[in-house]
Each structure stands twice: as structure tokens, then as C-alpha cells.
Chain A
Amino acid sequence: MSPLARQITAIARPGLAWAAHFIAIYALISASCAARALIDHPTVVADAIVATVVALALCLWSVVAAPKGASADLRRAAFWGGLIFALACLANAAALVLLQGCGG
């Protein structure tokens, strides 16, 4: 990959990680709180922790290993994009910290 292409990947990766994380959390909550009640709350929390750690790692990868290349602007975009998405992943998981179950 060219340096520029690497930077594009570095910008896109946190976003995709966030999207996957959001879908995972939404799916876990839906699986546990809808009529079918496929999984119980502790399982939701455990799976969510795993998902969050993975997603954070993918986001922060772009932050700590900002790809080398000519353009300071794209490096900055990758750095801050990674950080914003890392925060957003934490926000996705925050509800599980503050609430004890589907009904609050």
C-alpha cells in the first residue's frame, strides 16, 4: 500500500470499528431485552466488554500508530478520528455501566 492509502485505511478503520461495535452492542441488547430473551444480562455485559476492548484497540491503533507519510493533515485526521471513535465506543458501552438490566 502507498503511504497515502495507508492513511486512508487509518482514517476508515476506527469508523468501521465503531460501526461494528455499535451493531454488536445493539444486537446484544436486542437479544437479551426482546420477547425472545435469548441471553441474560451478565452474558450481555461480558460480551460487551470483549467487544469494547477489541473496538478500542482498533480505534486507538490509528491514534498511536499514525501512519507516516507526507501529509500532516491526514495524519491529524487519522489521530483525531481514532480518538473520537474510541470515545464513541465508550459511550456505546456506557449504558451497560449505568443500568443493571433491560428495564433500568
Chain B
Amino acid sequence: MTVAETPPDYSGAHKGEDKTFEGVWDTPKGLRVLSSVSHRVVGRRFIYTGFAFFLIAGFLALLVRTQLIVPGNTFLDLETYNQVFTMHGTLMMFLFAIPILEGFAVYLIPLMLGARDLIFPRLGQFGYYCYLFGGIIVLSSFLFDAAPDGGWFMYVPLSTQAHTPGLSADFWLIGITFAEIASVTAAVELITAILCARAPGMSLTKMPIFAWYILITAFMIAIGFPPLIIGSILLEAERLLGLPFFDPTLGGDPLLWQHLFWLFGHPEVYIIFLPAAGMVATMLPTFVGKPLFGYGFAVAAVVSMGFISFGLWAHHMFATGLPILSLSLFSAASTMVTVPTGIQIFCLIATLASGRPRLTVPMLFILGFLSIFVIGGLTGVMLASVPFNWQAHDSYFVVAHLHYVLIGGMVFPLIGAFYYWAPHFTGRMMSERLGRWVFGLMFVGFNVTFLLMHITGLRGMPRRVATYPEGLGWDRLNMLSSIGSYILAAGIVLFVYDFFRSRRHGPIAPRNPWGAGTLEWLYPPVAPGFNFHAIPPVHSREPLWDQPDLLEAEAHEVEGVMHGLRDGRRETVGCDPVSGAPLYILRLPHPTWVPMIAALGMALLFGATLASAYWLSGVGAVIALAAFAVWAWEPSDSGVTRDAGMGHDLPVNVVDRRSHMHVALVGTMLVLMALFASLVFGLLYLWNIRPDAAAAVARPEALTAGLGGLCGLGVALAGQMTRRAALADRFGITTVLSLLTAALAIAAAGLLGLSLGPVDPWVSALGATLWAIVAFTGLVLFALVFWALFNAARRTARRVGPGQSMPDFNLATLAKGAGLMVVVAAALFVAGAYGGVG
């Protein structure tokens, strides 16, 4: 089939038909730039916002070090100090480290993989605004003199209403949960982008190593964040509604919070480390002039690190009185994670040896990373030893260790990455001379600050103390650490100066300034609004090295698929997730305000909840839901075929498992399952740890719960039948089956709720958790009902053409997931009814 003379008339085709390719991809001007959905714009916003939080959190760190410079200092009072160190940790972990790395991923992944944008640009914009508004909520607590002061891991019962009255903990819980939505959406978006939108021929083995690092990180976020989200919601429910999840007098357990927190918190460390290590593995080969040595080893190491990092959480809880046997299990897993780390380090060392390294500024930061991170890793192994941990835990030794891992493993690579990719942001090179000073100051300052802290900790200084008496052997060490922190800060200040200086005065960056091998350097810097005029086929992991024609031609003359513009739409190529063969054309959205409005609705929902103005929360929820509906209402483009050039006739969208929509939904189901599993873990944990309290809980009604479970099966079945009918283009039946799915989902939710009739959530933690499971399952079922009715409405409104059955195809996946949750919940309730509870 050749390009149709007149494209068939479907409403989506006319978005920008009178515009040129550049015009269609142009970033909106003026205030409308806020409506941009381009990954270049959104990625940079993540990066700059994250860096702003880094500077604020760094300033707080200087306050901490200034307070501790001499014993008995009165620079800050106790309350302020507690707020300052809490906010330092919170901002660094939640609002700097993860968002900024996701920003780099959002910016770089499409460029490296040969896509014109991320697959879900609107989701990117939505995530960014969630992050921004969540961050503002957290920061605004300073204005209300209610800054959180319970430490960045918010241990209960200190963070419950009884011990932290007022709003400070609510600011933390609500703001951070809101900001985490951004992390989770970005994770789903990155998984899909990496699996579904790569240049023709880029099989998984041909992906740049950075994409592997980000892929694994994204999966880790999808599974690792849900425990904290659940924990935060439970804690907020305890604070707001008095549900006793963590109250030991009602069968709850403070340690449940620690389990949920560290189930997130330990993978989090690797979620921060892996993207940064991916940057190192991307930059280092450039300066050696040879590909990464041991790509297969590195992939094995990243995959195994991703898994094993979930088996370490309890090593943050070695002093909580867990059974010795449990401690040893976690101790063993904690030592084992060294193996994949070691493999990665030795891949880098071997790469160094395979060519002639150039000592540029990014390379200096890589060397800094190697030395500092190796020390952090070694002290990490020490901390995995239980007896040593009992001495070092919660002392300055741990403070030293975690900063070695995080600053060495993340901040040094990050600053190196800024120097490396600066041409993408400014079109100019940063200064090699100033860069060396930045590195020197940071390296010296860092080690002076934190190397000594190992000794301070072994001399018995606990962390999180606002003041300390003199004469315990800590005075001089603290003085030196504080001085070191000022040197480190001077390095950061110089870096910021260099960045702004280079925007005006740096030498203009040529095309591929470092001689790199990855695709993001195909176009000259000072990036245009678009990524590729044509998407070149890729045969190598370092296409710019191995495919000389790419750099010989002018960038816009490079040969590839999808040359120029079709139908006036933003589009890119969708590929087979494994082989990278082009499969379909992906239509991408143009700039829009809808995601921002959805995020604003969410902000209203969260902010009003914080202010206890619940009617306003309702308004926010309605705004958000309405925006989501408008977002999804856009007419489907699938069902037509276009000539993509180079012999590829591609349909617009495919309707099968390889579709980006389906891959994204599977990613989302992973998140939902992890959320559900966190609740089930909580239930089993409480049941197991407090048999006395469990015996006192009223039993669910078995018959009702069983019927609910049957409805759950029905939901899955009806969903699957809807998919079949839709694939066969049977319009009427599909609509009816959609409605049936919705009806069964409502019945399932209702029956599960009814079966808990005898269980009072306010008198026992176990009862509250049972209700939480119903509430969560109900929420998923609500989404399913919303979706099914939405599909039915679209069909009734004749907005669906033949071959456009993706929404129904996906409904089945969601229905099966929701059905599974209902069945598991029902099984737990039935087991509880038949004596399992007691």
C-alpha cells in the first residue's frame, strides 16, 4: 500500500495538517509553554526542579553542620534542628534524587532509543505537575510553621496524632504521596517507552546500557514505591480517622510501618544508584573510545541487583528485636548484593583498560564515583554484619555510610552528567578548568566531611542529635566535618556558577562534542523541538561509531523510517518489545492543558484534605476525574495503514499484546498488584504477630465473601469476553458485555463490603486492615466500572470505528487483575470466617 492520496477521514488526522514538520513539533510560545508535553521540555523541568530542591536541601544540610560545629551550640533550637534534618532527608530522597534521575531518563531515553518522544507525553506532563505541587505542599509547611520533624522515615508512634499533633506529619504524608505519583507514572512511562518505541532494528541486546539500567529501575519503582504509598495512606488514615493500624493497644504494631517503609526504602537506594551508574556506564566508554566491556555481565548484574535489592529491607531493622534467624537471612541477602555491584565496578575497570582514557571533567567525576562508592559499598558490607550493625546502627557511622553511597553513587555521577550533557541544555560546553575546581572542592570537601564521621560514629555519637556534650571525643571531628561541608558546598556553588556562565560564555558545542557513540548526539546541540526527522535503523549499540553514514550526512538528511510528516500529527514508530522491528505508527498528543488541570484537581484534593476542607477535596476529585475522562475521550486513530518508508507499511496502533497501551497497562497492573500485596502483607503480618488481638476480631461472613469471590471470577470472564467480542468487531455485544463487566464489578465490591459487616475497623488493627483491603479492591473495581462505562459510552456515541478495539482489549487485562484481587480478598475473608482469624 502506498501513501493514500486522501487520508480516510477520521477526526484525529487534522491536528496540524497545515503545518510543517518543525511546526508540528514546535514548543508552544509564551505562557502556553506550560502546556507542552514534549519529553525534552518535561525532562528538563524535572531536572531543574530537582536541582532546585537539591540546593534547598543542601542549604539545610549546612544548617545542620553549622549547629554541630561545636558542642552545646545554640545556633538552632531543638525543634528547628529536628525540622531541618527531617526536611533535608525528605527533600534529598523524595524530591531531588529520584525526580532528577527520572528527569534525565525522560530526557535521554527517547533520544538514545530513536523515538521522537516518550509514548505517553501527557502522562509525563501530569507526573511533573504532581511532583511540583507535591513538592510545594511539602515545602509550604515551613510557611505554616509546621515543618515535619519526625525524621525522613517518620517512624510511628512518634508520627501519630498523639505524639505529633498538628499538621506537620500530614504535610509530609500527603505531599510526599502526591509527589510519588510522579515517580510511579514516570516508571510506567519509561517501561513502555523502552519496550515499545525504539529505532528499527534496536533489539534488546542493541539497546544502550543506559536503557537497561532505566528499564530495571522503572520496574523497581513500580514495585518498590507501593509499600510506602500504602504505608503513608494507612498512617494518614490513622491520624485523620483514628483507624488503629499501628496502635499496639488495639492489635497493631509500630514495626509494620518500618516493614512497609523499608520495603520501599531499601530498593529506593538502588533506584537512586542504578540510573546514576547507568550514566557512568554511558559516559565512560565515550572517554575511553571503546564500547562498554562486558555488556552481558552488566545486564546480568543490573537485573540481579534489581531483584536482590528487595531482600534487604530488614537490615534497617536489625536493632528492633527481630528473631536472630530473620536477622541472618537479611544479613546474607545484604552481603550478596555486593556481587552484582562488584561486577558493575569491574565492568567499568575493564572498560578503562580497553582503550585510552581521556581525563575530562566528566571522567574526573567518574573516578570520584568509583573511589567514593567503593568505600560506601565496603562499609555497607560491614553494616550487613549483625553484631557490627548493633554498634553502628543509628550512629554517625551510618550517616557516613549512606552519604558515601548516595553522594558517591549518585551526586558525583550526576554532576559529571551535567558536564557531559550540558550541550543539550545550553548548546554550549561548560568549562573544563572550572570543572576541575568543582571536582576538587567537592571531592576534598566530601571526604573531609564524611570520612571522619565513621570515627565519630564508632566513638558513640548517635545520629539526629541537635546537640552533644563536650568531652566525649566528638568535638574536633565534628568541627572538621562542618568545615568539610562548607568546602563541599563551595564546590556546588562553583558548579552552579559555571552552569550559568556557560549559558552565555561557554564555547558553542559542535555536533557530537565528546565523540560519543549513542544516538542522542546525532543532531547538533541547541536541540530543536523534535528529535528525528527520520528515525535511522540501528545495527549497533554505538550507532554513531559503527554506522558512519549517520554522522557523515547532515542530521536532517539521515535516512530512516517515518521521514517527515504524515497526517499533520506528531508520531513515532512503535516496535516489537524484544526484536525492535517496526510494528506500528504511534500517534502522539500535541500540547494540551488537560494533564495539568488533572494535576491541579489532585492538588486541590490533597491540599483540601490537609486543610480538613473535605467538600473541597470532593471538588478536586471531580475536577481530576473529569480531566481524566477528557484526556481519554480523544478519538482513536487506529485502523488505518501508512507507508513509513524503507519498505515498511505500518498500521496506526496495533491491537494486541505488543501494543504500547497494553504494555503500559501491564506496568500499571504491576503497581496495583504491589499495592494490593502490601496490604495483604500487612494483614498476614498482624495476624501472625498478634494472635491474641486476632482472636478478638469479629469474623467476616463466609457466604457473602464467597459470593463476592464468584463475582470476581465473573468480572474476569466478562472482561475477557468483551475483548473477544471487540476483536471480532461485534459492536452491540461488546457494549452489552462492557456493561455486564461493570455490573459484576459493582456486585463484587458490594458483596466484599457486606461480608465485613460484623467487623468494626475502629476497634482493631486487623479489622481496619481488612477494610483497607476492601477499600483498595473497591477503588480498582471503581476504575474498572468507570472504564467499562466509558467504553460503552464511546461505542454508543459512535466514536469507535472498526479495528479500534484497544480500549476493550485492555479492559480485559484490567478486569482479570481486578478479578484476581477480588478472589484473593474473598479467599482471605472466607479463611478468616472459618477460624483462620482466631
Contact = CB atoms under 8 A, between A and B. Distances in A.
Contact of A91 (B307, B324, B336): B336
Contacts of A84: 300-301, 304, 339-340, 343
Interface in A55-95: 71-81, 84-85, 87-88, 91-92, 94-95
Contact of A5 (B294, B340, B578): B578
Contact of A29 (B297, B308, B325, B691): B325
Interface string A23-45: 00110011101111010000000
A30 B332 contact: no
A95 B331 CA distance: 9
Nearest to B541: A73
A74 B300 CA distance: 9
B262 interface: no
Interface string A1-16: 0101100100110110
A95 B329 contact: yes
Interface in B682-702: 685, 687-692
A38 B836 CA distance: 12
Given A92-B311, A94-B332, A87 B339 contact: yes
Given A35-B690, A36-B691, A77 B303 contact: yes
A34 B689 contact: yes
Nearest to B299: A77
26 contacts: A8-B578, A11-B300, A14-B304, A15-B304, A19-B311, A22-B311, A25-B329, A26-B326, A30-B685, A35-B691, A36-B687, A73-B295, A76-B294, A77-B296, A80-B343, A81-B299, A84-B300, A85-B304, A88-B311, A88-B336, A92-B333, A95-B325, A95-B332, A98-B328, A102-B324, A103-B324
B184 to A, nearest CB: 20
Interface in B597-627: none
In terms of DSSP, what is the predominant structure of the interface of chain B?
helix
B688 A34 contact: yes
Contacts of A22: 310-311, 333
Q: Which 6 A-B pairs have the closest CB atoms?
A: A76-B296, A95-B328, A33-B323, A73-B296, A81-B300, A91-B332
Given A72-B296, A80-B300, A95-B331, 20 more contacts: A2-B579, A11-B300, A15-B304, A19-B310, A30-B326, A30-B685, A30-B688, A36-B687, A36-B688, A36-B691, A73-B295, A73-B296, A77-B296, A81-B304, A85-B307, A88-B308, A92-B333, A94-B332, A95-B325, A95-B328
A38 B203 CA distance: 49
Contacts of B687: 36
Given A2-B579, A36-B688, A76-B296, A94 B328 contact: yes
A99 interface: yes
A93 to B, nearest CB: 8
Interface band, chain A: 35 or more
Contacts of B324: 99, 102-104
B385 interface: no
B306 interface: yes
A30 B339 CA distance: 27
Interface in B786-813: none
Nearest to A70: B205
B80 interface: no
User: Which among B300, B323, B685 has the highest number of chain A CB atoms within 10 Å?
Assistant: B300
A102 B692 CA distance: 21
Nearest to B297: A80
B329 A26 contact: yes
A4 B296 contact: no
Contacts of A19: 307, 310-311
B328 A99 contact: yes
A11 B302 CA distance: 11
A20 to B, nearest CB: 11
B304 A88 contact: yes
B579 A4 contact: yes
Contacts of B333: 22, 88, 91-92
Nearest to A4: B578
Contacts of B579: 2, 4
A5 B324 CA distance: 42
A42 B331 CA distance: 22
Nearest to A17: B307
Interface in B552-606: 578-579
A17 to B, nearest CB: 10
A8 B296 contact: no
Q: How large is the interface on B (under 10, 10 to 19, 20 to 34, 35 or more residues)?
A: 35 or more
A40 to B, nearest CB: 13
A68 B663 CA distance: 26
For the complex, would chain A's binding face be called helix, strand, loop or mixed by DSSP majority? Answer: helix
Contacts of B328: 94-95, 98-99
B204 A74 contact: yes
B686 to A, nearest CB: 11
A44 to B, nearest CB: 8
Contacts of A25: 329
A15 B306 contact: yes
B467 interface: no
A36 B690 CA distance: 7
A33 B685 CA distance: 12
Contacts of A99: 324-325, 328
A14 B691 CA distance: 36
Contact of B296 (A74, A88, A95, A104): A74
Contacts of B300: 11, 76-81, 84
A52 B441 CA distance: 50
Contacts of B447: none
Contacts of B331: 95
Contacts of A36: 687-689, 691
B424 to A, nearest CB: 28
B219 to A, nearest CB: 10
A84 to B, nearest CB: 4
Contacts of B311: 18-19, 22, 88, 92
Contacts of B203: 4, 71
B335 interface: yes
B204 A4 contact: yes
B689 A35 contact: yes
A68 to B, nearest CB: 14
A11 B299 contact: yes
B696 to A, nearest CB: 14
A85 B307 CA distance: 9
A81 B331 CA distance: 21
Contacts of A14: 304
Nearest to B206: A71
Contacts of A4: 203-205, 578-579
A79 to B, nearest CB: 8
A96 B329 CA distance: 8
B765 to A, nearest CB: 14
A38 B694 CA distance: 14
Contacts of A102: 323-325
Nearest to A103: B324
Nearest to B205: A71
A74 B299 contact: yes
Given A2-B579, A11-B300, A80-B300, A91 B688 contact: no
A18 B332 CA distance: 13
Contacts of B578: 2, 4-5, 8
B674 to A, nearest CB: 12
Contacts of A8: 204, 578
Contact of B303 (A30, A34, A81): A81
Given A8-B204, A91-B336, A99-B324, A80 B296 contact: yes
Contacts of A91: 332-333, 335-336
Contact of A77 (B297, B307, B326, B329): B297
A42 to B, nearest CB: 13
Contacts of B332: 91-92, 94-95
Contacts of A88: 304, 308, 311, 333, 336, 339
Interface string B310-348: 110000000000011110110111011001100100000
Contacts of A94: 328, 332
